[in-house]
Amino acid sequence: MAALPRSLSSIVVSVVGLAIFLIFASLLLISSPISSTVRGYFYGIDRKVDVVISSLEQSSDENMHSNNLDYMHKNSSSGSNLEVPTSSNNDKNAILTDKSPSDGIKVPVSSSGSESELKKNETVEKSPRSIGKEGTSASSAMSSATKNGSVESVGCDLYHGNWFYDPLRPVYTNNSCPVLTQMQNCQGNGRPDKDYENWRWKPFHCDLPRFDAKKFLELMRGKTLAFVGDSVARNQMESLLCLLWQVEVPKNRGNRKMQRWYFRSTSVMIVRIWSSWLVHQTSEKLDFAPEGVVKLHLDVPDETFMEFIPNFDVIVISSGHWFAKQSVYVLNNEIVGGQLWWPHHSHPMKVNNIEAFGMSVDTSLTAIATHPNFTGLTIVRSFSPDHYEGGAWNTGGSCTGKVNPLAPGELVENGFTNIMHKKQVAGFERASKKVTNRSKLRLMDITEIFSYRHDGHPGPYRNPDPNKITKRDRDGRPPPQDCLHWCMPGPVDTWNELVLEIIRREFEGEESVLS
């Protein structure tokens, strides 16, 4: 009986201790819930992550020998090794940590998550309201408050909207990117106005995000993107390099057959292959076509890029303008037509240059879409409009003095651009129906958008010659000029904003919508 009080006191002490423990544990869980720990364990947040970069396996460059160079590439600095050291640490297995405070972490959120959790996991880019050129309020600049992968974003039409003046552009300058071709270096060539650099594209029903170089490199981690096509493809490739150059200096691993730029932090490779017509070409004598005239085999894809496509994850196709050049058209080894060449004037041609362009698109895209070893994404950039007024490029056409985009009611229809676009879309649609592999074909339809941007071409500012002619003479004749390619920086940078959005939708969209 004497021990009873001690037993009761022990029980009381134990109960009080347990109560204190439970209260403390409850407070701890409220301040740091277990769900946060579990989410951090599975999704990699709420903890520091070190990224170890592995070296890329060396390619057999010595096996690539070709003289098939870009006819306008002689003035480009892209062929030289422009690698600049970014760190004193040369360790191939260096550990990189990203200290940028503006980078958010995007986490898949289940449909059962609360509204507060959704808001917590959104990444919001704060950007000032865009002001129109006249000082009035215009479309607001892109805010990434629109959820990545939302149904609205994934399904939104990117190709109908407005151009608006954005004082935050451009992302780079002609002096901060060493790879742009001199012919597109408009400021370096003395162009006096700069407003053409500031206009941004805004779709009607959604936002086109600003180009995010870190986002691009992360989405493309360990992958290769290849630009295939003509000098306009080179124009776009250099734009992408300039945009990426602002966050990382790539290593030049190119050769005469293929330009290649390697971004070490994410093992991303940007490639460009010259293919002016996208189909097989020969110069040997064929039937009544003499040696030296280019013969285009419209039913055979260009092997100069087809042999490499299994190594690519994303392909951006560009073509069309070379079909204005002299060539002979061949189907089943039979001559069926030509451009600026046809000796049998008494016999009508079966295929003209417009039809030939449509066939080349069908042939090249079908070859990609049915290739047994290609499972990537092919983006077909639609026909890039030129803006020669009063004549063609070689007959006095001009875009001299154009400094602002056309207003919606000012657009003058270009019959050649329209029919080339129509034939290209038809070829794309035919190829899309033939897909037999696991690859995807997507059309990036920029033709109408860029019909308004007659201000974005170099015009007479094609070279740094201080004595070049930039104005019309007394007879009204314009100076020699380029109204086909695009100034850099300039409207062409929008193409890569669209490419990034297409890639994001393909790589993230389905996962984000389903999560």
Convert 33-56 into a string of H (helix), E (strand) and C (coil). Answer: CHHHHHHHHHHCCCCCCCEECCCC
> Is the Cβ–Cβ distance between 96 and 53 less than 8 Å?
yes
Count each helix (H run) and each strand (E run) in the chain, helices first. 12, 15
d(CA 268, CA 91): 18
d(CA 362, CA 299): 9
d(CA 54, CA 90): 12
User: Quick one: how far is CA 225 from the chain centroid?
Assistant: 9
d(CA 393, CA 432): 33
> Is the Cβ–Cβ distance between 436 and 404 less than 8 Å?
no
Q: Which amino acid is at 510?
A: E
For the record, the structure tokens of 441 come out as 């074909």
**CB burial class (10 A; 0-12, 13-18, 19+) of residue 414?**
middle
Question: Residue length, the chain?
Answer: 515
d(CA 269, CA 250): 9
d(CA 246, CA 420): 35
At residue 129, the 3 state secondary structure works out as coil
CB environment 461-480: b (16+ within 10 A), e (fewer): bbbeeeeeebeeeeeeebbe
User: Quick one: how far is CA 50 from the chain centroid?
Assistant: 28
DSSP string for residues in 264-320: TTTTEEEEEEE-SSSEEEE-S-BTTBPTTS-EEEEEEE-HHHHTTGGG-SEEEEE--
For residue 335, what is the enclosing H or E element?
strand 334-339
Q: Which amino acid is at 128?
A: P
Residue 38: how many CB atoms within 10 A of its CB? 11
Residues taking part in catalysis: 231, 482, 485
Residue entry with tokens 């229809």: 413
d(CA 75, CA 482): 15
